[in-house]
Amino acid sequence: MSNASIDWIHSRLKFGIKPGLSRIVYLLEQLGNPQNKFKTVHVAGTNGKGSTVTFLSNILQQYGLQVGTFTSPYIKIFNERIAINGRYISDEDLNRIVGVIKPIVFKMDEDVDLVNITEFEILTAIGYYYFADQAVDIALIEVGLGGLYDSTNVITPLVSAITTIGMDHQDILGDTLAKIASEKAGIIKSGVPVVVGNRQGVPEEAYKVIETVAHEKDAPIFHPEIGLTFDLNLHGQYQQDNAALALKLFEILAEKLGLRLDREKINKGLKQAFWPARMEDLNGFILDGAHNLPAIKRLVAEFDGSKKVHILFSALQRKDFHEMITLLQTIPNVALTLTTFDYPKTIVAADVTDISDVTWLEDWREFVTAPKQADELYLLTGSLYFMSQVREFLLTTNTTN
């Protein structure tokens, strides 16, 4: 069912015509600067942001805290991007807050310096307003894109995190790891500790940039402990890495918030964490929204060839989908099928005619409704928008066979 407030938010520009934080700063000022009324954690990175946030949120909830989460994109419904203790913002609250923000935005559209505030900037303001309105104990804020000029970057958190650095959104963030790292490091604040993911996910070229920025801002750098293994419901080695990062964030927060380190609570929080379409087992299929090259590389490392792997993949044309497909083909004992789905600028058959040893399927539903072999693996991966549609289909259709 359509929601007029969500339709209005979607009607705004996706990206700003000019970078900068002046629009979001003005909007938040008109709202009474809600972002300054609660404690925050700020999380940037190419991949792993959402999983890290959900791990940390679940740990904090074990201590009885009201934890806001601001994440993107959504997998199930739009409202999941703004949540408190896992409960999505209601349509009623969303409509109420949009009612407050809309007149301010209309006024901004009449000002040449403030015109064209974007969808994400408005969503950020809604999230901050909601968290202040609901008096959360702490909010975990995921960066939308980059960091330096991201509209979330108007907070001074208790601790920041940079999960991984890889080549993604090069058209906006830059065409080298150093340039991308510089954008992500833009969230580092003076004197605020920053946790940086393991060195496998943050190459040396990127790490040097982060280290330099942290040193300039007198921000101490921390790293997750290496070699930890957790009992998780989120599968894959990279989720172990995300859990270790969340644990280090919590250890820093615990000291600042006066919380005692309780391994039972920590382990229970990590175990309860759930993040859809991240190595998710659903109706006999593995769903993983590996939507860029670094994510595909981590996904490929999960398969050793001991079982035949049937993969269905789709992506947007703007992504490096040729390289992503090439990487998927390196999985031992793989059968790769490519497809399209209902979304603007999705790959079509003509885009992959030069790729050999793959099958093209015009309707992806045929893959998930076909008979499966009990001793073989079936993986659906690629665009998160694709994962959203596949996941909804699997949840509403009996595909077990």
> What does the pLDDT look like over 138-161, one tens digit per residue?
999 999 999 999 999 999 999 999
| Class of residue 6 by CB neighbours under 10 A (exposed 0-12, middle 13-18, buried 19+) | middle
What does the mean pLDDT of the chain come to? 94
Confidence band for 1, pLDDT divided at 50, 70 and 90: very low
The predicted model scores a pTM of: 0.93
Give 242-258 pLDDT, tens digit per residue. 999 999 999 999 999 99
Residue finishing a domain among 243, 272, 301: 272
Q: In terms of domains, do 285 and 266 share one? A: no
Task: Say yes or no to pLDDT of 352 above 90.
Answer: yes
pLDDT of residue 17: 65
Q: In terms of domains, do 332 and 261 share one? A: no
Domain that holds residue 157: 4-272
Q: In terms of domains, do 370 and 233 share one? A: no
Residue finishing a domain among 272, 305, 331: 272
Residue finishing a domain among 256, 272, 288: 272
Q: In terms of domains, do 174 and 82 share one? A: yes
DSSP string, 128-183: HHHHHHTT-SEEEEE-SSSSTT-TT-S---SEEEE----S--HHHH-SSHHHHHHH
Q: Is residue 263 part of a domain?
A: yes
pLDDT of residue 73: 87
Q: What's 289's domain CATH number?
A: 3.90.190.20
pLDDT of residue 401: 56
Q: In terms of domains, do 260 and 304 share one? A: no
Q: If we measure between CA atoms, which residue out of 329, 238, 228, 224 comes closest to residue 278? A: 238
Q: In terms of domains, do 12 and 97 share one? A: yes
Q: Are the C-beta atoms of residues 296 and 290 closer than 8 Å to each other?
A: yes
Confidence band for 400, pLDDT divided at 50, 70 and 90: low
**Span 40-62, average pLDDT:** 97
Q: Is residue 401 part of a domain?
A: no
Q: Is residue 292 part of a domain?
A: yes
Q: In terms of domains, do 244 and 357 share one? A: no
Q: In terms of domains, do 336 and 228 share one? A: no
Q: In terms of domains, do 289 and 144 share one? A: no
Give 190-249 pLDDT, tens digit per residue. 999 999 998 889 999 999 999 999 999 999 999 999 999 999 999 899 999 999 999 999
Q: In terms of domains, do 263 and 298 share one? A: no
Total domains present in the chain: 2
Q: In terms of domains, do 375 and 231 share one? A: no
Q: Compute the Cα dihedral for 131, 234, 168, 160 and give only its sign.
A: positive
Q: Is residue 347 part of a domain?
A: yes
Q: What's 215's domain CATH number?
A: 3.40.1190.10
Q: Is residue 89 part of a domain?
A: yes
Q: Is residue 377 part of a domain?
A: yes
Q: In terms of domains, do 129 and 231 share one? A: yes
